[in-house]
Amino acid sequence: MKTLTQQQISADNQFRANMVRITFAFLLTLFGTGLLFSGDAHREGMTTIFSDASEHDFRTTADRQSNDRYRDNFSHNLSDDRSRERIRTRAPDDTPSEEDKIRGKIAYRYSSPVTARFLRATSPQKALAFYRESMNLIDARHLKPTSYQARVNRAVQNLQIAVELSSFRQANRLNYSQSSARRFQADLGRFLKSRSVRNMNDAITIMYGVANIGTRTIRLPSTTVAMEFVYGAVESLDKYSSFIPSEPASRPSASLDSNIVGIGVEIKTHEEGLLVIKPIRNSPAEKAGLKSGDVITSINNRELAGNSLNYAVDLIKGPIGSMLTLSVSRNNRQPVNVRIRRARVRVYSVSDVKMIDSRRGVGYIKLDKFAESSDAEMDEALWKLYREGMQSLVFDLRGNPGGLLTTAISLSNKFLPQGGIVSTRGRNNNDNSSENATYAKTWKIPLVVLVDGNSASASEIFAAAIQDNERGLIVGRKSYGKGTVQTHFPMQSVAGNLKLTTALFYSPNGRKMAGAGVTPDVLVRDVRKGEFVPMKDDRDIEMALRVTNSNELQELASRSSRTR
């Protein structure tokens, strides 16, 4: 079995929802999520990751507290007014239809300036080469590749929906009538109905036919047709596979980097603009006085209400040291202008460290993501609590979407004296791997791990390793059940990366995580779903404190110490 090294569990993406939380500092690299080239994987021309837990929201930083923010991955990112109105008229708890999900995904894609620039920079010849390259990779490496018929069907469905969206028209600089759009849709349906697709050559023949229909009816660029054939093929596979276009001079990733340029505030969409979840500590936003609950209504005098996050992307862009003006409303009062200077922001993965019961020595650490800096941050946090008299630890992974695999392994190693951590199994030998505990010195304190339905990927690896090795107790609710491995393939034909599901991952005892997740040892009902809950009223924390006082937890820690 191959040992897992320098691999990545990306925190998105798509875990990134209809209410999207994203760090302003990450906006400039929204489509670079979860890509961090390093070590041998980079030299081999690819990076293996455990992707963010979903279809949720292009999960660069994604929601950590409110389940509400995960309901539908793109419905509040739509730039098309009709699509937005259609989704808003549903009851809040209704499950969106499959067509609504596809519509939202396409609207999000074409409202991105990155997509528009990518299309303009890609010739039809390059787009065709990209299609061939992508299909070859899918055929060779995807865990369960779909048929070419399914791939083409999804591509045609995408185009039939896309033609109704204003973001699609704007990105492709098109100006066609509704009757032309309907003719395009009808002609596509008739064209595909009479044809079977058995292989790549058949698919390319269909692509040419679709391009001819597009040119004749709405003057659709053939590059866009080829790109939707790629997107359609990838989207027919599973909800984690995706294509991530790149821009010249852009970094591979900032989502898991601890230092980026921005103003440093976490937000979600709001009917009046953007709702501040919290400013990042020591960030320009915090220094300017922004607080949780503030509503940003405009950026540089551009109104945000009704616009997508991609609209905010371009507004927030700017070099380090430059100024921008936010209009901010607090407690439903009249907005006031706040001037903020863009700066380099350190994004901490450990967001909270404190003693929650000083008398009994119960420490608490909240980890938001498994980032490159998390190992050092955890060491700092653990020693801080130790100096304050920590006798047991509550480790909070609620809402944590994942991150770097190497970090998940190293953090597991801090608490496991021996035993397995994670293994993966795929179609190819290169996708089969295993990892075991190796540290000579570990923390032996009693350990409680908090998880919920938004704990995914690396969070599940850590929690399962602790649970299967009987090192501590898991408290909360069943985790997300991500369970699949994605590999990033840098493309040769175009600037971008194809992310494909290539394997499943398993707990030390051989449990398949995909669709199953981690079931807590102590279940806590979430009666205030979607609300902000102060720690003093947090039922998970209340239960964790009880568990730290239990004989069972003490015995698990004692037994672990004796195994060395």
* CB of 69 closer than 8 Å to CB of 268: yes
Q: Is 180 designated active site?
A: no
48 secondary structure, DSSP code: E
Q: Which of 57, 294, 375, 468 is catalytic?
A: 468
* Close Cβ partners of 368 (under 8 Å, ≥ 6 residues apart): 61, 64, 348, 349, 350, 351, 399, 400
516 secondary structure, DSSP code: T
* CB of 240 closer than 8 Å to CB of 51: yes
Q: Which of 455, 482, 507, 560 is catalytic?
A: 482
Q: Is 40 designated active site?
A: no
406 secondary structure, DSSP code: H
Q: What share of the chain is helix, strand, coil (3-state, %, to 5)?
A: 40, 20, 40
Q: How far is CA 551 from the centre of its chain?
A: 38
Angle (CA) 467-469-470 rounded to 5° is: 60
* CB of 148 closer than 8 Å to CB of 202: yes
Strand pairing category for 484-490 and 496-506? antiparallel
Q: How far apart are CA 256 and CA 111, in angstroms?
A: 24
- Is residue 306 left, alpha or beta, with left meaning phi > 0 and alpha meaning psi from -120 to 50? left
Q: Which of 51, 79, 167, 457 is catalytic?
A: 457
Residue (of 489, 95, 60, 118) closest to 260 by Cα position: 60
Angle (CA) 386-389-393 rounded to 5° is: 65
Q: Is 482 designated active site?
A: yes
Q: How far apart are CA 193 and CA 198, in angstroms?
A: 14
Contacts 24+ apart (CB under 8 A), 380-388: 380/350, 381/350, 381/353, 382/414, 382/443, 384/353, 385/353, 385/355, 388/355, 388/358, 388/363
Tell me the catalytic residues: 457, 468, 482
